[in-house]
Structure 1
Amino acid sequence: MKYSDNTIRRLLLLAVLSVLLLPAYGQYASGALNRAKRVVRELHDPRSDYVVVVAHRGDWRNYPENSLPAIESVIRMGVDVVELDVKMTKDSVLVLCHDQTIDRTTTGSGYIRDYTYEELLAFDLKRGHGIAIPGMKIPTLRQALEVCKDRIVVNVDHGYGYYDEVLAMTEELDMTDQVLIKSGKPLSEVRKNFSEHARNMMYMPIISVGSSNGWQLFKEYLTAPPLAFEICFDTLDERVESMAWDVNAAGSKLWVNTIWASLCGGYDDDRAFDTDAATVYGRILALGTSIIQTDRPEFLIRYLEKAGRRKEKTNNN
């Protein structure tokens, strides 16, 4: 059979395109291009040198905290995990809000538990400096999860008290593996709760070094090392360094909050921004920290990239 010159050119073009596109399709089909899965892989790899960046309440410097645009913004930045706070309305809808009341973050006032979700939609969200954004409403957790699916890992903060409701939602959306939840509950209680489900979200305990039961809770979880430990400390001393060493020796990740000085011994984001990032963040990294929750995600990412701590493992590694 003889082909025309145009047909031959088309066949050659198709052949070239197939060579270029098939590898990309294979990566897509295997989930290699799924950003959330790549982050989860780093979280589960104790040997990884990659530092996971968590954005506290999304990009609250430029958008209302816990809003959908704040989530979209940190996804564009390349943030790995977005921390979102949940509360439940009068009609049992989980919504994003840090406080028990809507006074600080919206144009309304009163407790979330006293409103139905439809009633909350009467109010607009406010930016950090108190300016309302007309038409921007409190989102539901479901809406936020739908935005985050496959794109970024989600830490549902204040969510352990609603564990069953959150889990049912993540299962329905097929994203349980990309959602993280934390608590300061005893290991025995968490184990019992998790045993009631066929599949569970990622979990880590919160250890407050200065609290009366902090050390006891830490030792309890060391008997069955979790994915990671969140350690909060107002002074970075030998006790904290000892805890950090134990966490890394156990094969768990270490999560440190640099959002406020009282949570990280004074080595916080604002100090890093105002003085020297290498000195401040370097001290946190020296603990073996591999997850940092920050209020300055873009700034932290730039520092970590320069320090060589943002290199993901490839599928071949």
Structure 2
Amino acid sequence: MDTGTHVVMGIALGGLATLDPAVGADPVTAQAVMIGAIAGSQAPDLDTILKFRNNAKYIRNHRGITHSIPAVILWSVLITGLLYWLFPGSNLLHLGIWTTLAVVLHVFVDIFNAYGTQALRPFSHKWVALGMINTFDPILFVIYCVGILFWVFGTPAGYTFLTVFVIVFFYYILRFFMKRSIVNKIHQKYSEVEKIIISPTMKFRRWRVAIITRSHFYVGRSLNGKLTILDEYDRVPVPQTAIIQAAEEDENISAFLSFSPVYRWEVDEYTDHYEVKFIDLRYRSKGHYPFVAIVQLDQNLNIVSSYTGWIFSEEKLRKKLDLLPE
């Protein structure tokens, strides 16, 4: 989920905490809990700073260890301890409870995105991604903001945000049934379906769809309840040639392959180099697949240049690789 929604969700949780007698009756604890709820709702995304290193590090690690079970415990203890030091008169137990709940809620809501998290670490490194809520869902954001406005204009914080979370709960239920309807239509249309990857968009009734069958990849969309297949590709296993094996040693390619569950590949040979490209099929936009990993190797299979990330034009891709178009 995006930073803005995590912030307003944290404010809502801090307001909800006033229903706790130990919080609502003590202004010092209430203030500490509100700060803890906001900080806890942001802390797991500290790994965003990895973007300043490179995309490969970010893709491989974002929502990984920082969203794991040990990290949830660590964030909760650190934030609670710091706030108790700043607000020594606050109720330590209830400050810890609500701060921990904020961190847990952050990780929990992130699993409903298509990106997902490794929330089960260290027990499993599997990405948990339910694909029901877009990273930024305008409806969710507005629900939280409306609750905050009601609170600012004088309604009781506790019951205002209790109402907000009840509405949010039923919104998630609605999205679950919307996604299940799409899955059912796919199974009616195709046999031998091995995996379905559904990615919600910011538009309420528009979803991206990627389908893996035994022999094909299908890419499409669901719009207003209608399933449309836009692209179809033969499912060709990645050959373990010397070129591919050399490419897979590259950090950008390795990060992409560790993250993407459905992709196609291309190998092109030019006069003086080879080019290997992997294309994620989940994010088709206006006929283009913007999330890619690409590596260029010389005739001796040494890596010359590589990149992974979001690219919306071939010209920009070539600039990232520091090479002119072929």
TM range (shorter): under 0.3
TM-score, normalised relative to structure 1? 0.27
Higher helix share: 2
TM-score, normalised relative to structure 2? 0.26
Higher strand share: 2
More relative contact order in 1 or in 2 (CA 8 Å, sep 6+)?
1
